[in-house]
Amino acid sequence: MVEWRTAHLIANAVDIKRMKKPLRACLFAVMLLIASMAKLHAAPGKWEVFSIGGVDYVRLEDVWRFYGFTKRDGRTGCISYGAGDRTVSLRPSRQDFYVNNYRYILSYPVISNDNSLLISAIDMSKLVDPVLRPRLTKSGNITTVVLDPGHGGHDAGAVSRYAREKDCNLALGLKVRRKLEAAGFKVVMTRDKDFFLTLGERVAIANRTPNCIFVSLHHNSGGSAASGIETFTLAPHGTTSPFARTRRTEDLAGNNQDSENIALATAIHSHSIKKTGAIDRGIQRARFSVLCTIKRPAILFEGGFVTNPQEGSKISSERYQDMLAQCICDGIVRYTSNTKNRRSSYRQTGSGSARAGALHSGYIPHTRGSSSH
């Protein structure tokens, strides 16, 4: 059963039904090879898959074993495991998931089943592993950043007496541009002045720019108490989220870059939370227009609330904008250096190299993504 279970996990990670025939045949061959390797190296029972309510899950104890994690003290009220400088924390029945105290929102809650905690296979393959092992995500040679200050012209975005979103987005974008150019990147702005362009036009600019990533810059609105930074990536195929309520099953170009998207979000979001000390609202899933049809790694960053008296004043100040711009630039530098083709420098963290390879090769976005560049 080990072979089947290993293959099954890979199948879940890969969205086989969406693949073209030659690719499917190729994947099948790879799965058979991996399954035979796993038979040699893996103990029986690894990666048993539980189908519950139409969702496939794996045991968290298998996840911890895979990464060589042991139980440790971590976030208050959470179950925490880790190794070295990595600590992962979560809670049963919740979708919050923390890596080194940075918050992510899972596509499905962690559930209990027969004295075991289970995490969905889609979260394992689309969130947990790309975040814990970003070096396995290969983005190719990124030379260019498309910066997309949201709204503009007649569309002011969120407005309060403290700040106007379209102005904050543009000011932040222009500052990020200067820093990225100083770091050696080419930068394309979807707008560098106060004018309107459609969401489709913004995506088209990224899709015709080679070797680029796409960072859409926004600021939030809410009640006067709401504050903090949140970063959105495209919801995985077949899942829902508070911002993507329908379970979309058609091909979305943005899902070809699932691993790149979450790795890019992690790099920018974690730098921003760490340096600004803003409330961490998490890396969340959504199906916003600019994330769906894009063929490049893409995120939508919300730098704070214009409606919060303190934060609204901060995000319209040059000093804070400069700090946030530096965080975004540093995150992009980190992302591009983490995801360059540097396989040889990768140190495997799993307890078995065959199994580590098995899980990784389930990331068809790695291969599909690279073909679209």
Residue 306 and residue 327: Cα distance in Å, rounded?
Answer: 19
Q: How far is the CB of 233 from Zn ion (least distance, A)?
A: 16
Residue 213 and residue 201: Cα distance in Å, rounded?
Answer: 16
The nearer residue to Zn ion, 218 or 237, going by C-beta atoms, is 218
Burial class (CB in 10 A: 0-12, 13-18, 19+), 46: buried
Residue 353 and residue 295: Cα distance in Å, rounded?
Answer: 32
Q: Which stretch binds Zn ion (CB under 5 A): 171-179, 198-206, 213-221, 273-281?
A: 213-221
149: contact with Zn ion by CB under 5 A: no
Interface with Zn ion (CB under 5 A), residue from 18, 177, 202, 218: 218
Half-sphere exposure of 227 (CA within 13 A, CB side): 15
The nearer residue to Zn ion, 157 or 282, going by C-beta atoms, is 157
Helix axes 353-360, 60-67, angle to 10 degrees: 120
Q: How far is the CB of 78 from Zn ion (least distance, A)?
A: 31
Cβ contact 236:107 at 8 Å: yes
Q: Which stretch binds Zn ion (CB under 5 A): 43-51, 109-117, 144-152, 192-200?
A: 144-152
Q: Where are the alpha helices (DSSP H) in 88-164?
A: 121-123, 129-132
Interface with Zn ion (CB under 5 A), residue from 74, 82, 150, 352: 150
Q: Which stretch binds Zn ion (CB under 5 A): 93-101, 142-150, 186-194, 221-229?
A: 142-150
The nearer residue to Zn ion, 118 or 306, going by C-beta atoms, is 306
Q: How far is the CB of 72 from Zn ion (least distance, A)?
A: 39
The nearer residue to Zn ion, 62 or 167, going by C-beta atoms, is 167
| Sole residue written with tokens 């911002």 | 243
Residue 188 and residue 324: Cα distance in Å, rounded?
Answer: 19
| Sole residue written with tokens 């796409």 | 214
Q: Which stretch binds Zn ion (CB under 5 A): 36-44, 129-137, 211-219, 337-345?
A: 211-219
Is the CA virtual torsion 338, 343, 348, 353 positive or negative? positive
Q: How far is the CB of 323 from Zn ion (least distance, A)?
A: 20
Closest alpha carbon to 307 in 168, 170, 166, 159: 159
| Sole residue written with tokens 């949201």 | 150
Strands 280-286 and 229-234: parallel
CB nearest Zn ion: which residue? Answer: 218
Q: How far is the CB of 306 from Zn ion (least distance, A)?
A: 9
The nearer residue to Zn ion, 14 or 291, going by C-beta atoms, is 291
Q: How far is the CB of 167 from Zn ion (least distance, A)?
A: 12
Residues 152-191 contacting Zn ion, CB under 5 A: 157
Q: Which stretch binds Zn ion (CB under 5 A): 45-53, 171-179, 218-226, 344-352?
A: 218-226
Contact string (CB under 5 A) for Zn ion, positions 91-130, x = contact: ----------------------------------------
CA angle, 132 as apex, 74 and 337 as ends, to 5°? Answer: 125
The nearer residue to Zn ion, 150 or 228, going by C-beta atoms, is 150
Any residues with CB less than 8 A from the CB of 192 and at least 6 apart, and which? Answer: 170, 173, 174, 177
Q: Which stretch binds Zn ion (CB under 5 A): 107-115, 210-218, 319-327, 363-371?
A: 210-218
Q: How far is the CB of 243 from Zn ion (least distance, A)?
A: 13
Binding site for Zn ion (CB under 5 A): 150, 157, 218
